[in-house]
A and B are shown apart, each in its own frame.
Chain A
Amino acid sequence: MNQPIINYFLTNTFSKTQAIRRLRLTKEFIDVFLFKNLQKKDFKTVFESFKQTSSAYFISQEGLEEDFIFLEKIAGELIKSISAENVNESIKLLEDAISHAKIILIYLPFEAPEQEINKLGSWFKQNLGPSSLIEINYDPGLIGGCALSFNGMYKDYSLRARINENKKQILDVLLSYHKNE
């Protein structure tokens, strides 16, 4: 697997979950194409049949259709650079690239759909570099906004933090409201 493919993989993958899913899909496809394609069919035929018979891991996973589109784009170049001898090495390269990517943990108070996650990921790629990946966690106590964890540091930018910062002012407002009643 050559570096452009790895770069393309990381640039067009936004979250860590997506990266792991796409990595597994790539591994399965390579396995099918190299070791189970006894009749030596062409890439397209193999890919079409692979789409139909992918493992149960992928069933009902959100974003699977996009992952197939992504894989179709890189599969052509992938099968040119990978052979039965260097497949493990190539996969390991990809895995290392993913593990060494910049991972930003985002804590959201709601469950965001795949599309919004991709948008968030693209924002981080624009501001932090193309090799950054986001990891979404769910924290309903945040109320609104988000909290971030990056390079071992955690910062709360949510509504909860803003309320706690302005606690005194809020109390004063409430007390003045109560007295006016």
Chain B
Amino acid sequence: MIALPLNYLLILLVLSLIGLIFWLYKKVDRQSQLIQDLRLHGERWRIYPDQKTIQEAVDKANQIVTHAEVESLKTEAEKEMELGLFSSKFQNEFQNNMSQILSKLETSVDSSNGIISQSINQAAKKHDDFLIQLQKQNLDWQNNMETEIKAKTNDLLGSFEQRMTDFFQTAQKDSLGAIDIEIKSARALIDSYKSQQLAVVNENIVAVLERTLNLVIKKKLSLKDQMDLVYEALEKAKLEKFLV
């Protein structure tokens, strides 16, 4: 807050300097303009005269010119002296003012530096405090978020678990029911197949017996036994008078 009027002071100083310089410039310019006018007035007499008149005019002009020159020289000298005095005075004053301004500026800069550094320190401190507060708030927020997320996750998992349990129970029930039906149908199929096969076996038991005997007798009967069976068959054929 103290920095604000200091800025204004600085601005005022700069403006005053500018105004001073402008006023000095104007004065000098006025002086030079005056000299230019005088020179121009002297030159005007050379443009439209006859020979005598011209000569008189020339003489008069020369007189005027010399008088003017003298006057101008005088004036110029005076003016130069005044100008010199003025410029030296101006320089002195300008230097004084500049030194004053500079000293004031230095003091103001020093004070403003001090103020700025103080304000910077305060701002840094405030910034640090703000960061700490922000960090704290962030941590609090993070903790709150974590607890909320945990609670929500727990709720979600609990509901999911419950739903999955329900689903599995229904699925198990359905699958068991389907399996029971399948088992029943398979049993019925097996029973019908069994009865069909038994019927087939009953029909072909004799063929099965023949095949079994064929396999067993070859291994179990000796050559003598086989030949005995053959002779038995031949005797039967003889009795039946097949071999006549």
Do the beta carbons of B213 and A120 come within 8 Å of each other?
no
Q: Is A71 an interface residue (CB 8 A)?
A: no
User: Which residues 141-178 of A sit at the B interface, judged by CB distance below 8 A?
Assistant: 141, 143-148, 150, 153, 155, 157-160, 163-164, 167, 170-171, 174-175
Of the listed stretches A26-34, A37-45, A88-96, A104-112, chain B binds A104-112
Q: Size range of the interface on B?
A: 20 to 34
Q: Give A167 to B210 CA distance when docked, in angstroms.
A: 11
Q: Is B209 an interface residue (CB 8 A)?
A: yes
What is the total number of residues of chain A having a CB less than 8 Å from a CB of chain B? Answer: 36
Total A-B contacts with CB atoms under 8 angstroms apart: 80
Q: Is B40 an interface residue (CB 8 A)?
A: no
Do the beta carbons of A157 and B210 come within 8 Å of each other?
no
Do the beta carbons of B213 and A159 come within 8 Å of each other?
yes
Q: Give A144 to B225 CA distance when docked, in angstroms.
A: 9
- Binary contact readout A99-126 vs B (1 if CB under 8 angstroms, 0 otherwise): 0000010101110110010011001100
- Known interface pairs A120-B230, A171-B202. Does A143 touch B210 (Cβ–Cβ under 8 Å)? yes
Pick the residue among B206, B227, B230, B236 that contacts A170 (CB under 8 A). Answer: B206
A-B contacts, 15 listed (Cβ < 8 Å)? A106-B230, A110-B218, A113-B223, A127-B238, A127-B243, A128-B243, A140-B218, A145-B230, A148-B242, A155-B237, A155-B240, A159-B217, A160-B210, A163-B206, A174-B205
Chain B interface residues toward A at CB < 8 A: 202, 205-206, 209-210, 213-214, 217-218, 221, 223, 226-227, 229-234, 236-238, 240, 242-243
Q: Assuming A112-B227, A148-B234, what are 10 further A-B pairs, CB within 8 angstroms? A: A110-B218, A110-B226, A113-B223, A116-B223, A119-B227, A141-B210, A143-B213, A143-B217, A170-B205, A171-B205
Chain A interface residues toward B at CB < 8 A: 104, 106, 108-110, 112-113, 116, 119-120, 123-124, 127-128, 140-141, 143-148, 150, 153, 155, 157-160, 163-164, 167, 170-171, 174-175
